[in-house]
Amino acid sequence: MPQPAVRPQRRTSPARSRAPHGLSWNEAVERFLASKRAENLSPATLENYEWHLAGSRAKIFLADHEVISPRQLDGEMLEALQAELLAAGVSPALVHSFHRVWKNFAGFCIRRGYGADPDVLAVKAPRQPQREPDTYSAEDERRIIKAARSPRDRLLIEVLMRTGLRLEEVAHLSVDDVIDGPEGAYLRVRQGKGAKDRVVPLDTGKVRLSKKLRDYIRHARPATDGGSSALFLSQRSRGGVYEPLTGRAVQLVMRRISMETGIRVHPHKFRHTFATRALSAGVDVMALQRVLGHTTLAMVSRYVHYQKADLLEAWKKRSD
């Protein structure tokens, strides 16, 4: 979740206090979001763009610098935004996210003739410290699953832990997405991030997640009588109708488990755990890239970089 707004001490730049003519900042943001909707981006991505450009932190910065038009957006402004966010204690990762979204917005404004100085595109993102991906231990996994209060919540945790799916991807799974193919069982993830379908294998040599899914569908999932085909449903019906579990509802399940166990339960931590374990088990990097739905190998490389077990094992074979 975005961090609460913090207003650092600063002085307004006189050069930006003059209101330029043309499209307002908010009007340009609306047109930018409309263009992204036309690209069929997910609602979560659109909400993320809007928060970065017109949310609480953006409003403070824009007000303090008296920015009312995209014509005022230049390299100096983006650098000031980054510096002030860092000074306010915002994480480098979130500042990097602001950098990416504002530069994307600037490029859009330049192409459409709404203003923005092209020098903004040359601004470098703040350097991010490289940290080992945060993962769950086997004991963490045991405690998290034990804290789940229902068969649905236990299976939900196992699917996240053993498939690496994103939050919204899990929420959008349907019964028909659990497939027993001739070469093995898999999940069909339809229109995941980037609007790309992909296949995620379910079973390993030791764990048959496909059987758990089939058993859940047959015995624990509420009967819908022709209603929703969502794999995970609400546990209480409204007028006899069970609604699909939303991403927000999944977050609430995780929050409750976090409070009961003292373990930070988060969708991306499940994803990091899945990727790290897959590499340790010998899964090919190219295959892992496809399963995770990453567009480039660079996005998988950090998991390879932090394979401590492989590194230590290689050191044991040294002859010096």
| Catalytic positions | 166, 193, 268, 271, 294, 303
Q: Which of 61, 67, 119 is nearest to 86 (CA)?
A: 61
Q: Which residues pair with 238 in a beta bridge?
A: 241
Q: Which of 191, 187, 238 is nearest to 213 (CA)?
A: 187
Q: Which of 217, 219, 214 is nearest to 232 (CA)?
A: 217
Provide CB contacts within 8 A for 115, sequence distance 6+: 20, 22, 23, 28, 69, 70, 71, 72, 73, 109
Structural contact between residues 114 and 120, judged by C-beta atoms closer than 8 angstroms = no
Sign of CA dihedral 236, 242, 247, 250: positive
The one-letter code for the residue type at 141 is E
Q: Which residue has the tokens 């930018």?
A: 32
